[in-house]
Homo-oligomer: A and B are copies of this chain.
Amino acid sequence: MLSLPEIQDLVSKKIDAFNRKNGKSGIYGPITYILALGGKRLRPALSIMSAQLFSDELEDAIHPALAVEVFHNFTLMHDDIMDNAPLRRGKATVHEKWNSNTAILSGDAMMIQAYELLSKTNTEKFPEIFRVFNQTALEVCEGQQQDMDFEKRTDVTLEEYLEMIRLKTSVLLAGAMKIGAILGGASKADADRMYRFGENIGLAFQLLDDYLDVFGDEAKVGKLKGGDIIADKKTYLQILALENAEGANKEVIQYWLGKKPKDPTEKVRAVTSIFVELQIDKLVLEKVKSFHQMAMSDLAALEISEERKTSLRELAEQMLGREH
């Protein structure tokens, strides 16, 4: 069996080959650019790892895993236009380096290429993974729409927020894992377990991301602490705090909402201290743990040997456990 680093290495080599084939001219330049920015290749790695739970024959799983990575990067290219983001992985975004029209068009071409990659697999199972991929892809778009809608609202509930991040982030992890499982020969029940595993790990991962933005180690997180507070971003922490705060605390949070001071230190300090007083940090970590446990219970139920489950359990812990 391949280890996670071996799988990530395999994915990287395949992406490099894809980039060499695409080249740098016309609509293909921005595709090669964004794919060469790197990243952990988590989605394709999880997809291949999911196939490996059920089979040692990974050949069929590789191209669909790449399809997921190419699709993911297509969503980044288009989301960056919509979010007006200047940077992606520390480099200029495609619409900044080229322009919005190029980012729209190359993104479109990238989605078509994702479908091309998806089709390079065992034809017998293709209709099934095609359905999973399509549903996932549509849900990712729905999640992005909700995220944009939420920016204009002040009454987003925790439940709505969780549904939005489920769509925007988790279903692609879930779909990637289900596709891998199907191609590895999993039973329908096991393929569904893998989907739920991905969904719950994705939710845990996103909530942890919200947590780390405020309470993480700045050096490890690699970005300015409290960035979400400064930007008034709707996160699990902000929504929970607004729901739980009363009296003066509520007034202080609302006072800072929408304020853009030149030096944001005081804003971050004041809001963080209310989060702590309301024990938001602990409540979020409990929620992370609960999603993690749900994922683990689906992993435990898989109808495969315990030995095979180890790598995935370790990966989940690596994604979630060591950071806090």
Interface residues of A (CB under 8 A from B): 26-27, 78, 81-82, 100-102, 104-105, 107-109, 111-113, 115-116, 119, 123, 126-127, 130-131, 134, 137-138, 141-142, 144-146, 148-149
Contacts and interface: CB of A to CB of B under 8 A. Distances in A.
B109 A141 contact: yes
A119 B130 contact: yes
Question: 3 smallest A-B Cβ distances: which pairs?
Answer: A109-B141, A82-B101, A112-B137
A115 to B, nearest CB: 6
Contacts of A104: 78, 81-82, 104
A15 B169 CA distance: 31
Which of A101, A107, A131 has the largest number of chain B CB atoms within 10 A?
Answer: A101
Given A26-B145, A81-B104, A142-B27, A115 B127 contact: no
A138 B119 contact: no
Contacts of A115: 115, 130, 134
A134 B148 contact: no
A127 B134 contact: no
Contacts of A145: 26-27, 102, 105
Which of A101, A127, A141, A144 has the largest number of chain B CB atoms within 10 A?
Answer: A141
A127 B123 contact: yes
A49 B122 CA distance: 32
A138 B111 contact: no
A85 to B, nearest CB: 12
A134 B116 contact: yes
Given A27-B141, A142-B26, A119 B134 contact: yes
Contacts of A105: 78, 82, 141, 144-145, 148
Contacts of A144: 105
Contacts of A112: 111, 134, 137-138, 141
B138 A113 contact: yes
Contact of A108 (B109, B111, B116, B134): B111
A116 B142 CA distance: 16
A134 B104 CA distance: 18
Contacts of A100: 100
A141 B82 contact: no
B109 A119 contact: no
5 contacts: A109-B141, A111-B111, A112-B134, A116-B134, A126-B126
Given A109-B138, A111-B112, A119-B134, 10 more contacts: A27-B142, A78-B105, A81-B101, A107-B108, A108-B141, A111-B111, A112-B138, A113-B138, A115-B115, A116-B134
